[in-house]
Amino acid sequence: MLWESAAGERASRPDGDLTARIENFRSEYGEQTLGIGTTSPRLSWMIQADDPEWEFDRYEITLSREDGTAESVIVASGEQVLVPWPFAPLRSRERVSLRVRVGSDDRWTLPSSSLEVETGLLEPTDWSADFVSPISLGGLDGGAPIVYRELDVAEKPVRARLYVTALGLYEFAINGRRVGHDVLTPGWTAYQHRLRYQTYDVTELVTQGTLTLSAVLGNGWYRGQLVWPGNRSSYGDRLALLAQLELTFADGTRRVVDTDAGWRACTSGILFDDLYDGQTTDLRIENDSERRQSEPVEVLAPYGGTLVARTGPPVRVTETLPAARIITTPGGSLVVDFGQNLVGWVRLRVRGATAGERVTIRHAEVLEHGELGTRPLRSAKATCEYILSGAPEEVLQPTFTFNGFRYAEVVGVPDLRVEDVEALVIGSALERTGWFESSDPDLNRLHENVVWSMRGNFLDLPTDCPQRDERLGWTGDIQVFAPTASFLFDTSGFLAGWLRDLAAEQKPDGGVPYVIPDVLRDPDPGAAGWSDAATLVPESLYRAHADRGMLSAQYSSMRAWVDKMVTLAGDDNLWNTGFQFGDWLDPTAPPEDAAAAQADKYVVATAYYIRSVRAVRDAAKVLGFAGDVVRYDDIAIRAEEAFNREYVTDDGRVRSDCQTVYALVLCWDLLDSEPKRSGAARRLTELVIEADYRVNTGFVGTPLILDALTIAGRIDLACAMLLQRECPSWLYAVSMGATTIWERWDSMLPDGTINPGSMTSFNHYAYGAVADWMHRVLGGLSMAEPGYRRVTIRPSFVSEGTPVTAARVRHRSPYGDIECNWQIVDDVVRLSVSVPYGVTADIWLPGDTKPSTVRSGAHRFEAPLAN
């Protein structure tokens, strides 16, 4: 079919090229092109084409090598997301340039702009460097050591690459200039199995003459406190650096500079560093290398795990926020308010101090009675201390710690000025892909709070909270939040990497630890909702990104977990034994017993069992494992029968009769008859009305409750619950001034005191899982086929009773931006939808019994609200 432009002219160029444009040509998981960890990166691109009917049926990828050779491959396919690498596998350090064009009927688009891809060190034998560690400096109670060496470079290289990692954290510099912008490198993985290395282009930094290579080493996750106070050295007690600087000169010769026995170690100005407790920095030493002691290093035994390139984005400073105001507390302290609860560092500029003066900064998420509320931090000291050098102007900023805070108390700067303080927001530099706004400002704030909680807790791994003595990769939290997360940001590489750690940490019998990386080290882990991260996070990721490769990589881990549950469920097909977190932090749970819940924990466990077995069955379908499809379908059917027999009455009453159990059975379609389904829907409705639309669910029920009401045909009740302001509710926290999602419904009590429970974080994304419903149902944009190949546009106005009069939701899918924007004016719905090339959208308007289907372009609809 010839492509015709909107004006009806044939839209071809004189050279015969189609005028559709290719954009966002990318490899694997996005922006990273240097140091990729695969020989065969998959490729994706977006297409801008005005004609919705035009379809390409082939693509051509051209690869150009540095030696001037090139090759092209034409593939007869209309795919554009994660297409397989069509060339011979790349070798380590290989750099190629790629272009793509697509075509049909012998017409081609213009080629895309070029994508440079360079592999990292892919084989263990590529590493000639050894890990080097200081001998006596930088011991467990010492400060952060520096390892360094000098070298003479006779000629400036044409290319210089640094491959680097550490046991502990590192900050690398060449001639005192910091390499790259990443922070808290190499991040946290299951170190005993997988350790990430980074690749940097340091061509600019490597000059002719004498060069100093140096790296400061911090304790970080490797050797600092983790889990409980004083629990240190989870992975080892020696910090070490592994670095390989590879220089290529104009004549093609190469020189490799490795960490080896020739390096030395010395002290740094960082006297103390810990993720929970903070950092103490002596700027006198920091600024004066003469003050440092020095010694040789020792070469350590080779690392036993695998060195891996990153798949997700690095941790960086993603934003700088000015201080909002400075408060003098009732007790006379100076406290800076940043106006936003965030994760990162305080940066403070000090002038005219005397050498040896001290400045102390303590952090907190909230104020209580006007003073810094540090009780929720539990044992974490969250304190940064600086000993000033007396330079005319000094900038105070830590390196090897991070804090969750909105408020910072500053001691030692009596003339503190608001313009001298900033907050540096740090986190994984994920690409934002999801936006929501509505006619209700409180809902917009709630949504912002979800985004901020995600930003704070997606710090190299998905954590529960970023401030107290925890900050762990709790599996249950990300399991419930993954669909929301994958809408808001591009999580594809970030979570795919974390899932590799999950698989690596899984027990031989399939048991899945409650935190990944597993520092709890429970010998026999397995709990519903938490361990189900093994099955349900890959499922969410596959839905969002259509990443079959990730699904295939996780499949044996998914299956192993489900097979373990089969054993746990035993002959009666009910998982009704053993430890469970259950509907964690149900609002009726007393402060000191977060697991006490209204929902029967074994109803929850068997429901999750069925849910995960089905997830494996569905993954088997995608991957073409026909035998497994039959096997897991059969297991699911038997478990459903057992569930109905044991826990459900004929009229749909579910054991423990509370919001969460009805949410489970309705959302996961667990009931085996229509009378049961309508009975359960009725009962849920009654419970929600009796509760005056207050939320009565914990971690398990919260992501589902509004969907359950939607399935029950009561979007009006779902909206009433979403808009409820009395505790427990989402907007209660907003009405109390929250700027992130709280861990418990009443982290802050109505009288302004902090909940006395030990689980009282103000930055936990789990309850923020409601944003998924806001995107899909209230906003009306939901994915109907993996990767958003097909979407459903069906905003809540389709049902009666929503008090929200306008909403706009946008998602940057693998194909491009999809937007749904609606408003109700004088009982008329106005809907505009924009659909990128490659996506089909089914649109529902009030009164529709079937959708109208549209393809790429901007579409507008108007319809009377009443039906």
Cβ–Cβ under 8 Å, residues 418 and 323: yes
- Which is nearer to ligand BGC, 435 or 742 (by Cβ)? 742
Considering beta carbons, is residue 103 or 701 the nearer one to ligand BGC? Answer: 701
Q: How far is the CB of 488 from ligand BGC (least distance, A)?
A: 19
User: Considering beta carbons, is residue 338 or 474 the nearer one to ligand BGC?
Assistant: 474
Would you state the structure tokens that stand for residue 49, as one six-digit string? 């084409």
Rounded to whole angstroms, the Cα distance separating 285 from 287 reads: 5
Question: Which run of H or of E encompasses 26?
Answer: strand 21-27
Q: How far is the CB of 586 from ligand BGC (least distance, A)?
A: 13
User: How many chain residues touch ligand BGC (CB under 6 A)?
Assistant: 10
The distance of closest approach from Cβ of residue 448 to ligand BGC in the complex, given in angstroms and rounded to an integer, is 21
Least CB distance from residue 744 to ligand BGC, whole Å? 10
Least separation in angstroms between residue 338's CB and ligand BGC is: 23
Q: How far is the CB of 493 from ligand BGC (least distance, A)?
A: 24
Q: Does 581 bind ligand BGC (CB under 6 A)?
A: yes
User: Six-digit token pair at 277?
Assistant: 């407790």
Spatial distance between the Cα atoms of 646 and 629, rounded to a whole number of angstroms: 26
- Alpha-carbon separation of residue 753 from 257, 304, 374, 466, 618 (angstroms): 57, 49, 12, 21, 47
The smaller minimum CB distance to ligand BGC, of residues 476 and 836, is found at 476
- Closer to ligand BGC by CB, 143 or 376: give it: 376
Q: How far apart are CA 12 and CA 16, in angstroms?
A: 6
Which residue lies nearer to ligand BGC by CB, 396 or 759? 759
Report the nearest approach of ligand BGC to the CB of residue 563 (Å).
24
Between 538 and 557, how does the x/- string for binding to ligand BGC read (CB under 6 A)? --------------------
> Cβ(43)–Cβ(83) under 8 Å?
yes
Residue 583 binds ligand BGC (CB under 6 A): no
Listed in sequence order, the residues at least 6 apart from 518 whose beta carbon sits closer than 8 Å to its beta carbon are: 190, 505, 525
**Residue count of the chain:** 867
> Most distant CA pair in the chain: distance in Å?
85
Strands (DSSP E) found in 706-839 = 781-785, 790-793, 806-813, 816-825, 828-835
**Which C-beta is closer to ligand BGC: that of 242 or that of 759?**
759
**Which of 625, 581, 611 is closest to 599 using CA atoms?**
581
Give the Cα separation of 507 and 671 in Å (integer): 32
How far apart CA 133 and CA 298 sit, in angstroms, is: 5
Least Cβ distance, residue 232 to ligand BGC (angstroms): 19
653 C-beta neighbours (distance < 10 Å), count? 16
145 vs 476, beta carbon nearer ligand BGC: 476
Position 365 contacts ligand BGC (CB under 6 A): no
Pick 188 or 584: Cβ nearer ligand BGC: 584
State the Cα–Cα distance between residues 398 and 379, nearest whole angstrom.
20
DSSP state of 654: B
Q: Report, in Å, the least distance between residue 473 CB and ligand BGC.
A: 10
Judged by CB, which is closer to ligand BGC: 578, or 713?
578
Q: How far is the CB of 556 from ligand BGC (least distance, A)?
A: 25
Answer yes or no: 686 catalytic.
no
Nearest distance, CB of residue 795 and ligand BGC, angstroms: 32
Number of C-beta neighbours around residue 576 at 10 A:
19
CA gap 161, 247 in Å, rounded = 7
**What is the secondary structure of 811-851 as a DSSP string?**
EEETTEEEEEEEEEETTEEEEEEEE-TT-EEEE--TT-SS-
State yes or no: is 743 an active-site residue: yes
Return d(Cα 384, Cα 282) in angstroms, integer.
11
Q: How far is the CB of 759 from ligand BGC (least distance, A)?
A: 6
How many beta carbons lie within 10 A of that of residue 71, not counting itself?
Answer: 12
59: CB partners within 8 A, 6+ apart: 74, 75, 77, 79, 80, 83, 100, 101, 102, 103
Cross-strand pairs, 264: 148, 296
User: Residues 449-488 vs ligand BGC: string with x where CB under 6 A?
Assistant: ---------------xx----x---x-xx-----------
Q: Give yes or no for a contact between 157 and 271, defined as CB atoms under 8 angstroms apart.
A: no
Could you tell me whether strands 790-793 and 828-835 are parallel, antiparallel, or unpaired per DSSP bridges? unpaired
Contact (CB, 8 A) for 110 and 101? yes
- Closest approach of ligand BGC to the CB of residue 363, in Å: 18
Scanning residues 15 to 54, which ones bind ligand BGC (CB under 6 A)? none
**CB 512, CB 561: distance < 8 Å:** yes
Question: What is the spatial distance between Cα 445 and Cα 453, in angstroms, rounded to a whole number?
Answer: 12
Pick 528 or 841: Cβ nearer ligand BGC: 528
Please, which residue, 28 or 464, has the CB nearer to ligand BGC? 464
Q: Catalytic pick from 171, 365, 409, 743?
A: 743
Q: 3-state DSSP call for residue 8?
A: coil
- For ligand BGC, give the closer residue by CB, 474 or 762: 474
Torsion angle of alpha carbons 248, 250, 252, 253, nearest 10°? Answer: -60
Residue 26, phi then psi, degrees to nearest 5: -145, 160
How far is residue 97's CA from residue 84's CA, in Å, rounded to a whole number? 16
What is the rounded CA–CA span in Å between residue 465 and residue 651?
41
Catalytic hit among 365, 470, 539, 640: 470
CA pair distance 282, 189, nearest whole angstrom: 30
Q: Helix 475-488 crosses helix 441-457 at what angle (to 10 degrees)?
A: 120
DSSP-derived 3-state class of residue 477:
helix
Residues with Cβ within 8 Å of 353's Cβ and at least 6 positions away in sequence, in order, are 359, 388, 390, 394
Active site positions, annotated? 470, 743
The residues of the shown chain that bind ligand BGC, judged by CB under 6 A, are: 464-465, 470, 474, 476-477, 581, 584, 759, 764
